[in-house]
Structures are given as C-alpha cells and as structure tokens.
Structure 1
C-alpha cells in the first residue's frame, strides 16, 4: 500500500469531529496495545450486533500478553520491563494480525474474494505509567495507524480498568447467546447495552494505584479516595517479600508476590468445588454482596468487627504482636471516617515484627534482632493473613464511606489485587454488615483484573463511538489524572475531543 503525501497529511491533521459514518458503523474492529508497566499485551477485539436480539456483543479474536521476568530483582525493574517490551511487542503484533478476521467481497463478475480486514482504528495505552514503556506502545500504534491509514485512540489506563466489567458484560453476552449469524445489514451500532450502567463506584487496586472512583459517565470519573503513600499492591508485595519463607519466594514464577502470599495462606483445596467465578455473577446484573457471602462463607472464617475496639482486640495475635488498620487513630483523634487510605505504615509495622524480638513483660518491641530462620511457618501464615485482612478491611471501609456520599447500585473492584479472593469476600462481608447487602459487587475474571490489552481495546471502542480521535503527534503521559481525562496535563495538544 502506497501512502501519498496528501494522505499522510490527512492522518497527521485528522479532524477531531469525525463523520457519522465513522461513529456509527455496523461493526467495529480494533487492534489494542498495552505497555504501561511490565506486561506486553496485544488484543484484537470486535464489536458488532447480534442478528436475533439486536444487542451488541464483543468478541476477542486474539488476546495475549508476556510479562517481564523480574523475579531476580524481587520486584518490577523499569529497564528490564522496557527491554521486554522492545523484545516482544513486534512479535505479538505480528501474531495478532494473523488472527484478524477475513472480509468477503464479491466482484461484478460474481467472483468471491477473501482478504484480511484492516482494523477500524488502533487503541493504545497512552498513560499513566512508565513513560519509556508507554512510548514503546504508543510509537508502535502510530506506525500501524499510518500504515493502515486508520485513526488512533490513546486510552487512559485507569479508565480502562474501571470499564473492564462492561467489556466482560459484552463478552458474556456472546458466550451465552452463541455465535450465530450476525447482522450484515446497513443498520449501525447505536446503543451498547452493557453492565454496569452509570453511575457506579470502582475500587481500582493494583501495584501502581489505589483509587476509589465514582463513574458518572464514560468520561466523567471522580476520584473519591486515594492512598496517601504507597498503593495496596505495592504494600502486599513488600509484606510478602518480608513474611514468605525464602523457599516460597524462590519457587515463585513471577514478581507478583501478593498473589503468592494469598496462595501461601489459603492454598486451594483440590476438593473445594466452589467456583472462582460464581455462576450467577455471569449475568449482566452481577451478584449481590449478600449472595457472594453466602456462596463463599465456607471458604473463609471471617466476621466483620462490630466496632473499632473489637477490631483492635481481634488484631492481637497469640504471638504477642498486633496488626491494626491504618489511619485508625492519630493525634487529632479518630481517623477511620476519613476518605483517605494509607499502606506504608502497615508494611513498616510488619517489617518490625519480623525484625525485632518483643519484651515478654511489656510486649513491646526491643532492639534485639530476631533470628529469621527460626520464625515458624505457622507464625508467618498468621502474620500474612492478619496483614491482608487489615489492608482489605481498610479499603472496604472506604467503599462503604464512598457509597454513603455517592449512592450507587454497583461496586466494581478492578486492577491486579482484585484477583485476590480474600479481598472479594471481606468487601462483600463489609457491605452486608453495613447495610449494603443488595449492592451488586462486580469482580472481573482474574485474567482481566491485571493489565491487559483487551480492556484497552474496549475503552477505545467506547471512546471511538463517542467521537474521540487522537492526532499522530500525541505523546505518552506518565501522570494523567482521571479528572483531566480529555486534556492530559503534559501534552502540548488539546487531547481527544467528544462530539
């Protein structure tokens, strides 16, 4: 395909208000790229109408990711992650192209021709994230947009996490309705009926972010609460590196040590036939918090404390140490009603428990170092479980406070930490105990909780249908507040526009 100077100029200066034929096609196909951190991911996602119901559904023709092996660094190493993107992205894109569906055309002579479709647009994570890593994906996406002469959509990473349940809703509809034949008429995609409907609350928890977000519309996401220091995922990884036995860390096949810690404390019983994804949660409406608790109450022995004093007594272990919820008390008084979160003190406290002996008389920490190799597996498991419980109660309490200020029928939990089933159970239990048992709780399937290109493609779909387009001279954005979704702060351009 030869690109003329006129065509290239048109791509560089594409109008920000697209024609109606571009906004309302009968089907949409995108190739999506995600490189914000240490996961290199590419997806081919299609959105179209089902012939019998008229409902739109999504189909993943290709979805794959390669995670940088940072185990020897005991955490994500920026340079190693960047090199991994450079080594793997091109091959993933090449593989994805082979999975793009064919299109069939007929010549006037009656001859039928089959050829590979060209995606309607390219979706790519623009930010926030590690700037060099983001540029790897953004520059690759620009190249594809130029080669195919198609629009480019730069996606906000956290917006994509928040919209993941809507992607899953569209994927589920195809799975339950069957593939069947699809509408090939001139009728266009008008309204995407997916769940949850706006408004809803999202708790976005990962190694890079911990945010409670009120989503009122596609481009209107208000941050209700955030962490004062480190993200929850980072906290859990730090605690895991401290608490887990060296042999467990060495056997871990990834640097997601928080997930390793969950398996260490709650190893899955091969006789446990309780499904990871509850059957009723596969419907569009999701699962009420009370239903979720009933289904999983045999897996965990957890009760929500009635008050702060009860929580403090329960958090005192038989080993002499205590792990208490962050921001419970401060010099200014009780802080457990504040819409803020903090996790650095929790990881520091656990480190001290593992590092120093306790005075048997006062039960206070001394400056005498503990012999780490003599700390029993049982105590390590208790400390890991106490730490997770306290951290999860902390964010669950903020979800309750968020619902009090921003009533919603649905709470979404997304991001890498959302794949932790103990978190899911504690949140559902807290909602029930505080009078929100009817609120729907939505947890995306584990492979969609972590960073992935499918969620980037879906968000690109929704933004494309609302008229967003990006110019080819956009840059990656390392810091991008959700409140500035349409106008990235360090971009010299105006960002995507909505019609």
Structure 2
C-alpha cells in the first residue's frame, strides 16, 4: 500500500511537514507552501478585485472562470518560490467551505487532481478555521486560551480557541457582517470597491465624532448587528445632503470599530483568556488594529494581529490549518465535498 493511500484516515505526523495549500473560496486564487503549520516558504495570491470592481461586488460566475484560468499558474509559482517538488510534499490542503460553490469546486477539483496524481493525502480545510491560524504565521508562541475576532465580508464572529482544532463560537452576526456593511456604505457614498480600504482612505480626512451613529448591541451579549448602522448612514446622508463624505466615512468607521473592539474586550475578560487575535479581511483596518492592540495591552493580554497580506484570503493559512488537521485527523479522502455553508466547529 502506498504511504499516502487516500483510504488511510488514521492521524499521522509527516517527517517534513510540507503542505501545499490551495484557496479559491471567493475572489482570490491562492496557493502556498508551509512547513509544519508555521514556516511560510511561499504564498502567492492572485486577486480578482479589478474584475469585480465595476460591479460593486463579487460576481460568482466571473470568480469561477477566473479561478479556472489562474489556479494552475498560481500553484506552479508557489512551488517554484518555495523551491519544492511534488515528492517533497506531505499533503495537499484545500478550502472546501464555506464560500461560493463554483469557486470552491474549482479549487477542490484541482487539489484532488494534484493529490491523486502525486500520490499525496488530501486534507479539507474549513475557511473560517484557516483564518484562525493567520496571525500565528508571523508570531512565535501563541498563548491559549485565546479569543479571536474573525471579521470579514461574510462573517463577524467571536471564537474562543482552547487548543488547535478546539473552538467555541461565542457570538456571530445577526444580519450584515462588518465587511459587508463597509462595502454597502462605500457603494452608497460612491467611494468604490472594495469598501473597507475605500472607507478607511476617506476617513483619514474626516472627523470620527462628526456624526453620532448608533453602536447596536454594544453592551448586550456577544452577537453583532450592522444592518441598522448601514441604514442610519443612508438616512443621515439623505436628510443632510451637505454633509461631508469624509466625515460620514470616519463616523461610520468609528461606530464599527467601537462595537467590534468593545465586544472582543468583554468576551476576553469574561472567558479569562491569555490573549486575543484578529482575523479576516476587516482585520486590515488600521483603527481596528490600533484599538485592539491598545485594549489588549491595557488588559495585560497577548495580542496577535496578522500582517495585512494574511488578513485577506490566502493559502498560507489554509496550509497551516491543513497541517494540524492532517496530524490530528488524517487525510480527508477524495470524496471530500464542497460545502458552501460550512460552519466553524
């Protein structure tokens, strides 16, 4: 029997620990090679932002077609930059959910083909779980338990991490995710796409105290709601046509950051964690990063904030999560399905 037979599901500890990660859950085609879950040998991301910008958001069909064109060259570049060949690898890890079904299927099909052709185990990775490993790619020891604020275009969650693979969802969004609210407000204000960077850029010239936008559910529970804030922005601008766009952007951003940071700090205190971390695309927001770091320092907690290249979707985090899943659970098998609504835990 081949050492990498896909029917062998028993946990294993590969000697080299080299994992090829593949990520195609939304609008980034990415591949990376990571050693033992932490040493990034290469990380290649081909963004589709320009393809979707004129539509004001991701168009699933366009995303899937772009992944088809880009996956092979992106994987090849990641392998070359890492200086490895297929026989150096221990496994192929791939995002199998959540995400856009067509986009997921492109990456999953490609990963299955590589695993089968190279005689390697296939490891399915939850995209949300992968984000939990992003911060530790650039940091040393991670103090556990840890409270992670996972905040992106599709998700806003507080996740208690007790150990690798052991998670408890503390709170989530009841309507719009924070990143979704950024995109919708930016579109309404005519600032362009993606909304997060556009709002942050405009906010640098605005007054964050100019408009007192609501901080929904800031002091109740650990769930989030940003739909009302988005509506408040729209209504305010319609009533006050003369208001400066930069002031609106700054005040909106301040409201989002306040809620995110307040709930993270309260969750960390209530669960007596040793550290906090940010993850997801909105974790690239400078005011949020500064606020969370300041709050953590004041509370005496370790604070892990990923570099901006690891905030947005990337395959290094997928490879890192894949390493831990391979060691603890063994291969996934070639029957692994794409699950667009996959949940954490």
Provide TM-score, normalisation by structure 1: 0.64
What CA deviation, in whole Å up to 9, does each residue of 1:187-228 have, x standing for no partner?
A: xxxxxxx42132100000000100000001111111101111
Q: Aligned match of 1:325 in 215, 228, 238?
A: 215
CA distance in 2, matches of 1:81, 1:344: 26
What is the CA-CA distance between 1:17 and the residue it aligns to? Answer: 1.1
* Residue of structure 1 aligned with 2:149, choices 194, 203, 209: 203
How far is the alpha carbon of 1:431 from its aligned partner? 5.1
Alignment of 1:370-449 (within 5 A): 370=241, 375=242, 379-430=244-295, 436-449=298-311
Equivalent residue runs for 1:93-242 within 5 Å: 93-101=75-83, 117-169=87-139, 194-242=140-188
Q: Equivalent residue of 1:216, what SS?
A: strand
* 1:15 aligned residue (8, 11, 36): 8
Q: Does 1:67 align with 2:48?
A: yes
Query: Is 1:451 the counterpart of 2:313 in the alignment?
Result: yes
Residue segments in structure 1 that go unaligned for 5+ positions in a row: 1-5, 48-55, 103-114, 170-193, 250-254, 268-299, 303-314, 329-335, 358-369, 484-499
Tell me the CA shift for residue 58 of structure 1: 1.0
Greater helix fraction, Structure 1 or Structure 2? 2
Find the residue that maps to 1:464 and give its secondary structure: helix
User: What per-residue deviation string (whole Å, max 9, x for no partner) do you get for residues 245-292 of structure 1?
Assistant: x4x53xxxxx3221121112227xxxxxxxxxxxxxxxxxxxxxxxxx
Find out whether 1:481 has 2:343 as its counterpart: yes
Cα deviation for residue 400 of structure 1 reads 2.2
Moved over 4 A (4+): 429-432
Shift of residue 446 of structure 1? 0.4
1:58 aligns with 2:51: no
Q: Counterpart of 2:35 in 1: which secondary structure?
A: strand
1:57: Cα distance to partner?
5.9
Deviation at 1:60, TM superposition (A): 1.5
Provide Cα deviations, 1:395-453, integer angstroms capped at 9, x if missing partner.
11111221232111211011000011111223344556xxx431222110000011000
Match of 1:38 in 2: 27
Question: CA deviation digits over 1:458-479, x for unaligned, max 9?
Answer: 1111222224310101101111
2:199 to 236, 261, 264: 261
Query: How many Å separate the matches in 2 of 1:215 and 1:135?
Result: 29
Kept in 2, the 8 Å contact 1:153–1:469? The answer is: yes
Contact 2:207/2:247 (8 A) holds in 1: no
Give the Cα separation in 2 of the matches to 1:72 and 1:159: 31
CA RMSD of the aligned region, Å? 2.5
Name the residue aligned to 1:294.
none
Shift in Å at residue 62 of structure 1?
4.6
**Equivalent residue pairs, number:** 344
State how far apart, in whole Å, the 2-side matches of 1:235 and 1:457 are: 29
Distance 1:64 1:327, change over 3 A: closer
